Amino acid sequence: ESAAKSILKDASRVVAWSEDGKILYSDFQADPAELKVLTNVFGDRDGAIRSGMVVGGTRYEVHRHHPPAVYGRTMGGAPETSEGAAVVKVETGPGGQPCYCFITYRMPHISARMVPLLQSFCSEQLATKG
């Protein structure tokens, strides 16, 4: 928890969960059903772009599909008010099973900065060393 607050301090929202649906950390009320569907973005690229990412009832359009990272933004308003979102998959996390971490971020924070921070957090805090 302290690592998430420190490393991902510029994220608006953070949630990490395991493949079996157990929420490992969240700083908002995450919906396990949404998180389960969110893991589908790591499959087919075209499907991920079609379905986007939905968390907290907000749809984020997928702009980049580069597993283990998938990211994008909200659309429809002025670019300055859009919200970015990224999710990273860790193949071997706590308990030896895959886990995921999702963040959202607002301007002036952009994916070029936030995605590497998320990837670093995942490899340092969620990935099982072995």
Spatial neighbors of 69 by CB under 8 A, at least 6 apart, are 86, 87, 88, 115, 118, 119
Q: How does pLDDT run across 72-86, given as a tens digit for each residue?
A: 999 877 778 899 999
Q: How does pLDDT run across 87-128, given as a tens digit for each residue?
A: 999 999 988 999 999 999 999 999 999 999 999 999 999 998
Compute and round to an integer the Cα radius of gyration of the chain.
14
**Dihedral through CA 22, CA 31, CA 77, CA 101, nearest 10?**
0
Mean pLDDT of 31-60: 95
pTM over 0.85: yes
